[in-house]
Structure 1
Amino acid sequence: MLKQTMTKLSVLLLATTTVLTACGGNNNNTTGNATNAPDSDTPATEVAKKDVSFTIGYASGDPATKKAIADTVKKFTEANPNVTIKDLSETSSAAYLDWLKTKDAVGEFPDLVEMRDTQVFADAGKIVELPADLLDLFEAPPQVEGKVWNAPMQVNAPQGIIYSKKAYTDAGITVLPKTYDEFIAIQEKLKTSGITPLVVGGKDIFHMGFWVNKFLIDDVYSKDPDWNSKRTAKTVSFTDANVVQAMTDYKDLFSKYVDKGWLSTGDNQTASILVSGKAAQLYSGTWMFTQIAEADPSFEFGFYAIPDREGKVNVIGLPSPAGWSLSTDAVKDADKTEAIKEFIRFFFAPEQYSVYLATINAIPATKENVTYETSEQMQVALDLVADPNVVKSLAINNWWGDNLIPPQFRNWYYKLLQELVLENGDVTDYMKKADTEYDTQVKANQM
């Protein structure tokens, strides 16, 4: 088993400001390796950069992130006309992991890839360690097997309830919940007022993870971060009381308060449904703030993390090994490798990186000083990150080392939980199915 290395977040001092800043110092060179510089005796106008091309792959389920990355690619190629970048962004509602595996199977694995399942592809020999001359861009990126495989695009930010202030006012809701039971009481008030309490983009399987992991973090991971490794060792079970409670809460919420069309609603439809007044709330991440503001600049909304039954707040917030990775095949070509490294430096240069961060309301991962104006909603997220009383955790599939789950289990589990709601199934019976499938996949991966 691989050892898991955790690092501490370095953004705690951000919470009391209205400007998002990642502190430190670093070389702000966006022009590539010094070996590409012209000879001191050769006029720069006489040196032409060699034409080079590479492919880039990234998840595009979230429109704001897709736009932010696509805009960066466009700016980079305009500034570097000798470089051609072929965009291979995932465009279907399929899981990103499955999309990458398909690309690999047909010989189209990206040269530069947004990597989320790092250990899976590192173990398969598909990606290489982050080049040493890029490591200094970051404070202390997470390691897998003692190695850094990614240029982290941002620090994991909390997810929570994005709510219509008008809907809350119309329903007579004046105080935000201090416990989960108070949150449920709010759902009842919204429902009674005649508005659908929650919109969910269940058509996209990744979106299911927002709610599923809210409950798993509250009842499982906030109390036992090593639960996955214990499940692999069969010392805990999905049928244990804590998991059953988490999935019972999930089922009850979806059955009573989620828009009935959730399974056919895409993630990219949720912002418009919220601002149109068809639903009062959306549970999602900070990247949605810009999308909502663009959908209706006059729409007033707030953001908060849902407390658990004891009144404790537990959120996504630990660092995880994810970000830009170079493929094993790409680094066989020295010119391609240098072009990719130039792109990574360009991506994280403060003037460009700040635009990317602002577009998706993200927390910077670099040492270099990066600032952008933050919104009222983003400030709440920063306060959550800075609060030592808020427990930081990860989603079921974002752990690594001994806590890595079988790579296909996440999608299978989310689909199982969709069926649980649609069939009004017995939670314990469905968790027995989860145990069986988990063990089957663990065994298959060991063969």
Structure 2
Amino acid sequence: MQKKTMTKLSVLLLAATTVLSACGSNNNNSKAGNTGGNTAASQSPDAAATDAKKEVSFSIGYAAGDPATKKAIAATVEAFMKVSPNVKIKDISETTSSAYLDWLKTKDAVGEFPDLVEMRDTEVFADAGKIVELPSDLLELFKDPPQVKGKVWNAPMSVNVPQGIIYSKKAYADAGITELPKTYDEFITIQDKLKTSGITPIVVGGKDIFHMGFWVNKFLIDDVYTKDPDWNSKRTAKTVSFTDPNVVQAMTDFKDLFTNYVDKGWLSTGDNQTASILVSGKAAQLFSGTWMFSQIKEADPNFEFGFYAVPDREGKVNVIGLPSPAGWSLSAEAAKDAGKTQAIKDFIRFFFAPEQYAAYLASINAIPSTKEKVIYETGEQMQAALDLIADPNVTKSLAINNWWGDNLIPPQFRNWYYKLLQDLVVKNGDVAGYMKQADTEYDAQVKANAQ
């Protein structure tokens, strides 16, 4: 069973600049650059030995649906190869709007499963024997990484960050909105004011199926997971149902929001288009994660925006924020090659070296997962997100597909469910009827996976 403890951060204030620190420390205090200080790769005796050996190569696969993350990882790969000239990394990042799980399964089917892979569906691929445990000498980098079946399979790239409303301050001011909402009903009132002012309230990148999960899980967390974190396991055991009043309420709110306040072109809008739509003034708000902050600033450095979590009807704030087993994983095939394994371990140490890791975190506004202190500058929006994580009155949860152990859902169900909800909105369907379909499909997938 997954741990339900809240991730704690310490936030340091240096002069007038807000910086972020992960708690704990170890003996790795090097710089990640190629000047003066040691890199993570050069600190390792094994890395030095690797430099003297023949050329080694490995492939790396990761989800590229978010442009900022793709850019940050690509930059790290390039920096590593500069300090490790004998190592060649083949970048095979996912670049389609297909679900990442489906992309990985396709790569596996054609014999191109990455040697080092960003793993999100850890239990699925661990059970299939496609990945191995994280090498024991890398465990020292992290503090209490989540375990699946008593084993650590991932080097967590960061800690799960809250998702919330990224809003145009100008649009709010033009609509006469002077206070942030304290309840969900007040949030809806804001949507009506924005609509009346002549601007589309919300942009959604529904062309990318993963983007659908942002709003879907906001409502599931409010009405389902905050009250019962073990709901998934009970659904598998058939003791709860998608047709139960709490789920129907959550999906009714989802449908109503999309019907009344979301840009009509949401189904053909890509996630990578949402930042430009927001800054152009075509929409007032975007519901997403902190990784969008840098994209918005890149699209328009002068665009003024804020960030907040949408409260539930009772005025409680619930966000994604629990740890989950995800991150860099070593493929079982690559683990058979000692040279390749060592090169991958060197890359992982380089990735998490303080200076290099700080650059990665800053570029996507992420929260560090390492024991080693990592400091980088944060802005007003990221500080709001950090305050949510640090606030003991804010309930932390996970998305429907991020639970594990007994709460693991069938691996293909998430995408099927998100598409079902797209259909619900487009066809103005009956929520209760669609939830019956969800029950039927869920049970069928559980049965199929058990065979």
| TM-score, structure 1 as length reference | 0.96
1:145 matches 2:149? yes
Which residue does 2:41 correspond to in 1? 30
Which residue does 2:2 correspond to in 1? 4
Render the CA deviation track for 1:346-405: whole Å, top value 9, x for unaligned: 000001000000000000000011000000000000000000000000000000000000
Q: Is the 1:24–1:368 Cα contact (8 Å) retained in structure 2? A: yes
Q: Give the distance between the partners of 1:255 and 1:416, measured in 2 at CA.
A: 15
Q: What letter matches 1:208 in structure 2?
A: M
Instruction: Classify 1:5/1:308 alpha carbon distance in 2 versus 1 (closer, same or farther; 3 Å).
Output: closer
Q: What letter matches 2:389 in structure 1?
A: V
Q: Give the distance between the partners of 2:43 and 2:55, measured in 1 at CA.
A: 14
Q: Give the distance between the partners of 2:131 and 2:362, measured in 1 at CA.
A: 29
Q: 1:135 aligns with which of 129, 139, 152?
A: 139
Q: Is the 1:7–1:142 Cα contact (8 Å) retained in structure 2? A: no
Deviation at 1:49, TM superposition (A): 3.1
Q: Is the 1:162–1:302 Cα contact (8 Å) retained in structure 2? A: yes
Deviation at 1:32, TM superposition (A): 6.5
Unaligned stretches of 5+ in structure 2?
29-39
Deviation at 1:257, TM superposition (A): 0.2
Written as runs of structure 1 = structure 2, the 5 A alignment for 1:271-350 is 271-350=275-354
Q: What letter matches 1:31 in structure 2?
A: S
Written as runs of structure 1 = structure 2, the 5 A alignment for 1:99-178 is 99-178=103-182
Deviation at 1:5, TM superposition (A): 4.1
Q: Is the 1:212–1:247 Cα contact (8 Å) retained in structure 2? A: yes
Q: Give the distance between the partners of 1:368 and 1:32, measured in 2 at CA.
A: 15
Q: Secondary structure of 1:370's match?
A: coil
Which residue does 1:98 correspond to in 2? 102
Instruction: Classify 1:97/1:36 alpha carbon distance in 2 versus 1 (closer, same or farther; 3 Å).
Output: closer
Q: Give the distance between the partners of 1:222 and 1:432, measured in 2 at CA.
A: 23
Render the CA deviation track for 1:76-117: whole Å, top value 9, x for unaligned: 001111000000100000000000000000000000000000
Which residue does 1:203 correspond to in 2? 207
Instruction: Classify 1:146/1:32 alpha carbon distance in 2 versus 1 (closer, same or farther; 3 Å).
Output: farther
Deviation at 1:34, TM superposition (A): 2.4
Which residue does 2:448 correspond to in 1? 444
Q: Give the distance between the partners of 1:342 and 1:35, measured in 2 at CA.
A: 8
Instruction: Classify 1:317/1:241 alpha carbon distance in 2 versus 1 (closer, same or farther; 3 Å).
Output: same
Q: What letter matches 2:71 in structure 1?
A: K
Q: Give the distance between the partners of 1:5 and 1:23, measured in 2 at CA.
A: 19
Q: Secondary structure of 1:298's match?
A: coil
Render the CA deviation track for 1:400-426: whole Å, top value 9, x for unaligned: 000000000000000000000000000
Render the CA deviation track for 1:109-164: whole Å, top value 9, x for unaligned: 00000000000000100000000000000011000000000000000010000000
Q: Is the 2:10–2:22 Cα contact (8 Å) retained in structure 1? A: no
Q: Give the distance between the partners of 2:331 and 2:8, measured in 1 at CA.
A: 28
Deviation at 1:442, TM superposition (A): 0.2
1:51 matches 2:55? yes
1:194 matches 2:192? no
Which residue does 2:75 correspond to in 1? 71
Written as runs of structure 1 = structure 2, the 5 A alignment for 1:232-243 is 232-243=236-247
Question: How many equivalent residue pairs?
Answer: 438
Written as runs of structure 1 = structure 2, the 5 A alignment for 1:212-231 is 212-231=216-235
RMSD: 1.5
Q: What letter matches 1:348 in structure 2?
A: F
Q: Give the distance between the partners of 1:263 and 1:164, measured in 2 at CA.
A: 22
Instruction: Classify 1:376/1:36 alpha carbon distance in 2 versus 1 (closer, same or farther; 3 Å).
Output: closer
Deviation at 1:9, TM superposition (A): 1.1
Q: Is the 2:42–2:48 Cα contact (8 Å) retained in structure 1? A: no
1:383 matches 2:387? yes
Which residue does 1:41 correspond to in 2? none
Q: Is the 2:10–2:23 Cα contact (8 Å) retained in structure 1? A: no
1:20 matches 2:20? yes
Q: Secondary structure of 2:363's match?
A: helix
Q: Give the distance between the partners of 1:37 and 1:253, measured in 2 at CA.
A: 56
Unaligned stretches of 5+ in structure 1?
39-43
Q: Give the distance between the partners of 1:37 and 1:54, measured in 2 at CA.
A: 18
Q: Is the 1:142–1:319 Cα contact (8 Å) retained in structure 2? A: yes
Deviation at 1:35, TM superposition (A): 4.2
Q: Is the 1:32–1:345 Cα contact (8 Å) retained in structure 2? A: no
Q: What letter matches 1:20 in structure 2?
A: L
Q: What letter matches 2:294 in structure 1?
A: T
Q: Secondary structure of 1:237's match?
A: coil
Q: Give the distance between the partners of 2:7 and 2:283, measured in 1 at CA.
A: 34
Q: Give the distance between the partners of 1:250 and 1:131, measured in 2 at CA.
A: 42
Q: Give the distance between the partners of 1:37 and 1:268, measured in 2 at CA.
A: 40
Q: Give the distance between the partners of 2:71 and 2:255, measured in 1 at CA.
A: 34
Q: Is the 1:317–1:385 Cα contact (8 Å) retained in structure 2? A: yes
Deviation at 1:37, TM superposition (A): 4.5
Q: Secondary structure of 2:2's match?
A: coil
Deviation at 1:33, TM superposition (A): 4.5
Q: Is the 2:46–2:342 Cα contact (8 Å) retained in structure 1? A: no
